[in-house]
Amino acid sequence: MKHSLSITLLLLALFLLTQIVGISTIAHYIGLTTDSEGNKRIVHADTILGEQPQIENKSYSAIPIIITVLLGTALLLLLIKLRLGKVWKLWFFLAVWITLTITLEVFIAQAMAIALALVLALLKIYRPNVFIHNLTEIFIYTGIAIIILPFLNLLSASILLIIISLYDMIAVWKSRHMIALATFQTESNLFAGLYIPYGKGEKRRKATNSAGIAKGAVPEEKAGKKASGSAASNAILGGGDLAFPLVFSAAVLEHLVLLGAAVTAAFTHALLITAGAAIALFLLFLRGQKGKFYPAMPFISLGCFAGLAAIYLIRMI
Protein backbone atom coordinates (compact mmCIF):
# COMPACT_ATOMS: atom_id res chain seq x y z
CA MET A 1 0.00 0.00 0.00
CA LYS A 2 1.41 3.36 -1.00
CA HIS A 3 0.46 5.16 2.23
CA SER A 4 -1.01 4.10 5.55
CA LEU A 5 -4.75 3.52 5.55
CA SER A 6 -5.45 6.67 7.60
CA ILE A 7 -3.42 8.88 5.27
CA THR A 8 -4.98 7.28 2.21
CA LEU A 9 -8.50 7.87 3.55
CA LEU A 10 -7.64 11.48 4.41
CA LEU A 11 -6.33 12.09 0.90
CA LEU A 12 -9.44 10.49 -0.58
CA ALA A 13 -11.65 12.61 1.69
CA LEU A 14 -9.96 15.77 0.39
CA PHE A 15 -10.37 14.51 -3.17
CA LEU A 16 -14.07 13.88 -2.60
CA LEU A 17 -14.52 17.26 -0.93
CA THR A 18 -12.85 18.99 -3.88
CA GLN A 19 -15.12 17.20 -6.34
CA ILE A 20 -18.35 17.74 -4.37
CA VAL A 21 -17.62 21.42 -3.77
CA GLY A 22 -16.84 21.80 -7.46
CA ILE A 23 -19.94 20.02 -8.77
CA SER A 24 -22.27 21.82 -6.36
CA THR A 25 -20.73 25.19 -7.25
CA ILE A 26 -21.09 24.51 -10.97
CA ALA A 27 -24.70 23.38 -10.44
CA HIS A 28 -25.29 26.79 -8.85
CA TYR A 29 -23.28 28.59 -11.56
CA ILE A 30 -24.94 27.32 -14.73
CA GLY A 31 -28.29 28.51 -16.05
CA LEU A 32 -30.77 27.09 -18.53
CA THR A 33 -32.58 28.94 -21.28
CA THR A 34 -34.79 28.00 -24.22
CA ASP A 35 -34.47 29.67 -27.60
CA SER A 36 -37.32 30.65 -29.95
CA GLU A 37 -37.26 27.20 -31.53
CA GLY A 38 -37.67 25.44 -28.20
CA ASN A 39 -34.07 24.24 -27.96
CA LYS A 40 -32.53 24.17 -24.48
CA ARG A 41 -29.21 25.90 -23.95
CA ILE A 42 -26.86 26.06 -20.99
CA VAL A 43 -25.95 29.59 -19.94
CA HIS A 44 -22.50 30.30 -18.49
CA ALA A 45 -22.34 33.56 -16.60
CA ASP A 46 -19.45 35.96 -17.20
CA THR A 47 -16.41 35.68 -14.94
CA ILE A 48 -13.59 37.97 -13.89
CA LEU A 49 -11.94 37.01 -17.19
CA GLY A 50 -14.89 38.42 -19.13
CA GLU A 51 -17.65 36.93 -21.25
CA GLN A 52 -17.74 33.17 -21.55
CA PRO A 53 -17.39 31.87 -25.13
CA GLN A 54 -20.37 30.49 -27.03
CA ILE A 55 -19.23 27.35 -28.85
CA GLU A 56 -21.68 25.85 -31.31
CA ASN A 57 -19.76 22.73 -32.38
CA LYS A 58 -18.03 21.16 -29.38
CA SER A 59 -17.21 17.79 -30.91
CA TYR A 60 -13.50 18.56 -31.30
CA SER A 61 -13.18 21.29 -28.72
CA ALA A 62 -11.04 19.09 -26.46
CA ILE A 63 -8.15 19.61 -28.88
CA PRO A 64 -7.44 23.26 -27.91
CA ILE A 65 -7.48 22.24 -24.25
CA ILE A 66 -4.96 19.47 -24.92
CA ILE A 67 -2.77 21.92 -26.83
CA THR A 68 -2.95 24.35 -23.90
CA VAL A 69 -1.87 21.61 -21.49
CA LEU A 70 1.07 20.68 -23.72
CA LEU A 71 2.13 24.31 -24.17
CA GLY A 72 1.89 24.91 -20.43
CA THR A 73 4.05 21.87 -19.76
CA ALA A 74 6.59 22.95 -22.38
CA LEU A 75 6.74 26.45 -20.91
CA LEU A 76 7.34 25.11 -17.42
CA LEU A 77 10.09 22.81 -18.72
CA LEU A 78 11.67 25.88 -20.34
CA LEU A 79 11.53 27.72 -17.02
CA ILE A 80 13.28 24.74 -15.44
CA LYS A 81 16.02 24.80 -18.06
CA LEU A 82 16.54 28.55 -17.65
CA ARG A 83 16.13 28.35 -13.84
CA LEU A 84 13.48 31.06 -13.84
CA GLY A 85 11.88 30.18 -10.53
CA LYS A 86 10.58 33.73 -9.97
CA VAL A 87 8.61 33.60 -13.21
CA TRP A 88 7.01 30.33 -12.09
CA LYS A 89 6.17 31.91 -8.73
CA LEU A 90 4.40 34.82 -10.43
CA TRP A 91 2.59 32.47 -12.82
CA PHE A 92 1.48 30.27 -9.92
CA PHE A 93 0.29 33.24 -7.88
CA LEU A 94 -1.78 34.68 -10.73
CA ALA A 95 -3.31 31.29 -11.50
CA VAL A 96 -4.32 30.78 -7.86
CA TRP A 97 -5.73 34.31 -7.55
CA ILE A 98 -7.76 34.13 -10.76
CA THR A 99 -9.19 30.64 -10.24
CA LEU A 100 -10.12 31.33 -6.62
CA THR A 101 -11.83 34.55 -7.70
CA ILE A 102 -13.84 32.71 -10.37
CA THR A 103 -15.03 30.18 -7.81
CA LEU A 104 -15.88 32.69 -5.09
CA GLU A 105 -17.72 35.12 -7.37
CA VAL A 106 -20.34 32.44 -7.98
CA PHE A 107 -21.54 33.10 -4.42
CA ILE A 108 -20.38 36.61 -3.46
CA ALA A 109 -19.92 39.99 -5.11
CA GLN A 110 -17.03 40.14 -7.56
CA ALA A 111 -15.12 42.83 -5.62
CA MET A 112 -15.32 40.76 -2.45
CA ALA A 113 -14.28 37.64 -4.35
CA ILE A 114 -11.23 39.42 -5.78
CA ALA A 115 -10.16 40.68 -2.35
CA LEU A 116 -10.68 37.38 -0.54
CA ALA A 117 -8.95 35.41 -3.31
CA LEU A 118 -6.00 37.82 -3.17
CA VAL A 119 -5.58 37.28 0.58
CA LEU A 120 -5.75 33.49 0.17
CA ALA A 121 -3.31 33.54 -2.75
CA LEU A 122 -0.81 35.66 -0.79
CA LEU A 123 -1.05 33.35 2.20
CA LYS A 124 -0.59 30.32 -0.04
CA ILE A 125 2.56 31.77 -1.62
CA TYR A 126 4.20 33.66 1.25
CA ARG A 127 2.81 32.04 4.43
CA PRO A 128 2.24 28.46 3.35
CA ASN A 129 1.00 25.76 5.67
CA VAL A 130 -0.83 22.49 5.14
CA PHE A 131 -4.24 23.91 6.06
CA ILE A 132 -4.07 26.96 3.75
CA HIS A 133 -2.59 24.92 0.94
CA ASN A 134 -5.30 22.25 0.92
CA LEU A 135 -8.11 24.73 1.63
CA THR A 136 -7.25 26.74 -1.48
CA GLU A 137 -6.76 23.58 -3.55
CA ILE A 138 -10.35 22.55 -2.79
CA PHE A 139 -11.64 25.69 -4.55
CA ILE A 140 -9.01 26.28 -7.25
CA TYR A 141 -10.15 23.46 -9.55
CA THR A 142 -13.74 24.67 -9.59
CA GLY A 143 -12.45 27.86 -11.16
CA ILE A 144 -10.51 25.86 -13.73
CA ALA A 145 -13.61 23.79 -14.53
CA ILE A 146 -15.71 26.94 -15.00
CA ILE A 147 -13.14 28.26 -17.49
CA ILE A 148 -13.02 25.01 -19.48
CA LEU A 149 -16.68 23.95 -19.30
CA PRO A 150 -18.10 26.20 -22.09
CA PHE A 151 -15.82 24.40 -24.57
CA LEU A 152 -17.06 20.90 -23.77
CA ASN A 153 -19.99 18.57 -24.14
CA LEU A 154 -20.16 14.94 -23.03
CA LEU A 155 -18.40 13.66 -26.16
CA SER A 156 -15.51 16.12 -26.08
CA ALA A 157 -15.14 15.73 -22.30
CA SER A 158 -14.83 11.96 -22.82
CA ILE A 159 -12.22 12.49 -25.53
CA LEU A 160 -10.36 14.83 -23.19
CA LEU A 161 -10.21 12.18 -20.45
CA ILE A 162 -8.90 9.54 -22.85
CA ILE A 163 -6.19 11.75 -24.36
CA ILE A 164 -5.08 13.10 -20.98
CA SER A 165 -4.85 9.54 -19.66
CA LEU A 166 -2.65 8.50 -22.58
CA TYR A 167 -0.50 11.59 -22.15
CA ASP A 168 -0.20 10.88 -18.43
CA MET A 169 1.14 7.38 -19.07
CA ILE A 170 3.68 8.66 -21.60
CA ALA A 171 4.81 11.54 -19.36
CA VAL A 172 5.35 9.28 -16.36
CA TRP A 173 6.44 5.92 -17.78
CA LYS A 174 8.20 6.95 -21.01
CA SER A 175 9.52 10.50 -21.21
CA ARG A 176 9.43 10.91 -17.39
CA HIS A 177 9.43 14.69 -17.78
CA MET A 178 6.81 14.94 -15.05
CA ILE A 179 9.52 13.93 -12.60
CA ALA A 180 11.54 16.97 -13.71
CA LEU A 181 8.47 19.13 -13.13
CA ALA A 182 8.00 17.59 -9.69
CA THR A 183 11.61 18.29 -8.74
CA PHE A 184 11.41 21.90 -9.93
CA GLN A 185 8.22 22.60 -8.02
CA THR A 186 9.65 20.89 -4.94
CA GLU A 187 12.63 23.22 -4.99
CA SER A 188 10.40 26.28 -5.49
CA ASN A 189 8.01 25.15 -2.70
CA LEU A 190 5.05 25.77 -5.00
CA PHE A 191 2.89 22.94 -6.26
CA ALA A 192 -0.59 22.26 -7.57
CA GLY A 193 -2.42 19.46 -5.83
CA LEU A 194 -3.32 18.05 -2.44
CA TYR A 195 -0.51 17.63 0.07
CA ILE A 196 -0.45 15.74 3.37
CA PRO A 197 2.88 15.45 5.22
CA TYR A 198 3.22 12.53 7.59
CA GLY A 199 5.75 10.41 9.40
CA LYS A 200 8.62 11.50 11.61
CA GLY A 201 11.50 13.71 10.61
CA GLU A 202 13.17 17.02 11.36
CA LYS A 203 11.74 18.68 8.28
CA ARG A 204 9.44 17.80 5.44
CA ARG A 205 10.18 18.65 1.87
CA LYS A 206 7.24 19.76 -0.20
CA ALA A 207 6.54 17.82 -3.36
CA THR A 208 4.23 17.98 -6.33
CA ASN A 209 3.40 16.34 -9.61
CA SER A 210 1.82 18.89 -11.91
CA ALA A 211 1.73 22.50 -13.04
CA GLY A 212 -1.52 24.37 -13.46
CA ILE A 213 -3.88 21.80 -14.93
CA ALA A 214 -1.05 19.78 -16.48
CA LYS A 215 -1.00 16.13 -15.43
CA GLY A 216 1.60 14.27 -13.46
CA ALA A 217 2.20 11.13 -11.48
CA VAL A 218 1.27 10.18 -7.95
CA PRO A 219 4.69 9.99 -6.28
CA GLU A 220 5.75 9.62 -2.69
CA GLU A 221 8.86 11.58 -1.77
CA LYS A 222 10.97 10.94 1.29
CA ALA A 223 11.89 14.10 3.12
CA GLY A 224 14.42 14.69 5.89
CA LYS A 225 15.76 11.90 8.06
CA LYS A 226 16.60 11.91 11.75
CA ALA A 227 19.82 10.48 13.07
CA SER A 228 17.88 7.37 13.96
CA GLY A 229 16.97 6.94 10.30
CA SER A 230 13.22 7.62 10.54
CA ALA A 231 11.85 9.52 7.58
CA ALA A 232 9.08 11.97 6.83
CA SER A 233 6.93 11.45 3.77
CA ASN A 234 4.35 13.31 1.71
CA ALA A 235 1.06 12.00 0.38
CA ILE A 236 0.16 14.12 -2.64
CA LEU A 237 -2.33 14.14 -5.49
CA GLY A 238 -1.64 16.30 -8.52
CA GLY A 239 -3.77 19.13 -9.82
CA GLY A 240 -4.74 17.34 -13.01
CA ASP A 241 -6.05 14.42 -10.98
CA LEU A 242 -8.45 16.88 -9.36
CA ALA A 243 -9.33 19.09 -12.33
CA PHE A 244 -10.12 16.60 -15.08
CA PRO A 245 -12.60 14.35 -13.24
CA LEU A 246 -14.36 17.52 -12.04
CA VAL A 247 -14.56 18.86 -15.59
CA PHE A 248 -15.97 15.53 -16.76
CA SER A 249 -18.55 15.49 -13.94
CA ALA A 250 -19.60 19.03 -14.85
CA ALA A 251 -20.01 18.07 -18.51
CA VAL A 252 -22.17 15.11 -17.47
CA LEU A 253 -24.25 17.39 -15.24
CA GLU A 254 -24.89 19.78 -18.14
CA HIS A 255 -25.69 16.88 -20.47
CA LEU A 256 -28.33 15.58 -18.05
CA VAL A 257 -29.85 19.04 -17.64
CA LEU A 258 -30.13 19.38 -21.42
CA LEU A 259 -31.87 16.00 -21.49
CA GLY A 260 -34.51 17.38 -19.15
CA ALA A 261 -33.27 16.44 -15.69
CA ALA A 262 -33.65 18.93 -12.89
CA VAL A 263 -30.38 20.48 -11.73
CA THR A 264 -30.69 18.77 -8.35
CA ALA A 265 -31.22 15.37 -9.97
CA ALA A 266 -28.36 15.98 -12.41
CA PHE A 267 -26.10 16.92 -9.50
CA THR A 268 -27.01 13.72 -7.65
CA HIS A 269 -26.28 11.60 -10.71
CA ALA A 270 -22.99 13.40 -11.34
CA LEU A 271 -21.84 12.33 -7.89
CA LEU A 272 -21.65 8.79 -9.28
CA ILE A 273 -18.76 10.02 -11.44
CA THR A 274 -17.01 11.23 -8.30
CA ALA A 275 -17.69 7.94 -6.53
CA GLY A 276 -16.25 5.94 -9.42
CA ALA A 277 -13.14 8.13 -9.57
CA ALA A 278 -12.61 7.88 -5.81
CA ILE A 279 -12.91 4.09 -5.84
CA ALA A 280 -10.40 3.85 -8.69
CA LEU A 281 -8.03 6.17 -6.86
CA PHE A 282 -8.32 4.12 -3.68
CA LEU A 283 -7.47 0.96 -5.60
CA LEU A 284 -4.44 2.69 -7.10
CA PHE A 285 -3.16 3.64 -3.65
CA LEU A 286 -3.98 0.18 -2.36
CA ARG A 287 -1.94 -1.55 -5.06
CA GLY A 288 0.76 1.13 -5.35
CA GLN A 289 4.23 0.77 -3.84
CA LYS A 290 6.12 3.31 -1.79
CA GLY A 291 8.62 5.46 -3.66
CA LYS A 292 7.23 4.70 -7.13
CA PHE A 293 5.62 7.07 -9.61
CA TYR A 294 2.20 6.24 -11.06
CA PRO A 295 0.06 7.99 -13.68
CA ALA A 296 -3.24 8.47 -11.83
CA MET A 297 -5.43 9.67 -14.69
CA PRO A 298 -5.84 6.32 -16.47
CA PHE A 299 -7.28 4.85 -13.28
CA ILE A 300 -9.37 7.91 -12.46
CA SER A 301 -10.73 8.01 -16.02
CA LEU A 302 -11.80 4.37 -15.81
CA GLY A 303 -13.62 5.24 -12.59
CA CYS A 304 -15.30 8.21 -14.28
CA PHE A 305 -16.53 6.08 -17.17
CA ALA A 306 -17.76 3.43 -14.74
CA GLY A 307 -19.74 6.16 -12.98
CA LEU A 308 -21.16 7.31 -16.32
CA ALA A 309 -22.24 3.73 -17.09
CA ALA A 310 -23.98 3.58 -13.72
CA ILE A 311 -25.84 6.80 -14.53
CA TYR A 312 -27.12 5.42 -17.83
CA LEU A 313 -28.13 2.18 -16.13
CA ILE A 314 -30.10 4.04 -13.46
CA ARG A 315 -31.82 6.21 -16.05
CA MET A 316 -32.81 3.13 -18.05
CA ILE A 317 -34.46 1.40 -15.09
- Is residue 32 within 8 Å of residue 40, measured between CB atoms? yes
Boundaries of every domain in the chain: 5-44+55-81+138-316
Q: At 73, is the pLDDT very low, low, confident or very high (cuts 50, 70, 90)?
A: confident
Output the average pLDDT for the chain: 85
What does residue 70 show for φ and ψ, rounded to 5 degrees?
-65, -40
Taking the C-alpha atoms of residue 314 and residue 317, their distance in angstroms, rounded to an integer, is 5
Single-letter amino acid, residue 63: I
Share of the chain above pLDDT 70, in %: 85
Q: pLDDT tens-digit profile of 80-114?
A: 888 887 888 899 999 999 999 999 999 999 999 99
Q: What is the pLDDT of residue 315?
A: 87
Taking the C-alpha atoms of residue 126 and residue 130, their distance in angstroms, rounded to an integer, is 13
- Is residue 230 within 8 Å of residue 260, measured between CB atoms? no
Q: Any idea which of 17-21, 285-289, 301-305 has the lowest mean pLDDT? A: 285-289
Q: What b/e sequence results for 20-54 when a residue is b if at least 16 CB atoms lie within 10 Å of its CB, and e otherwise?
A: bbbbebbbebbeeeeeeeeeeebebeebbeeebee
Q: What is the pLDDT of residue 246?
A: 97
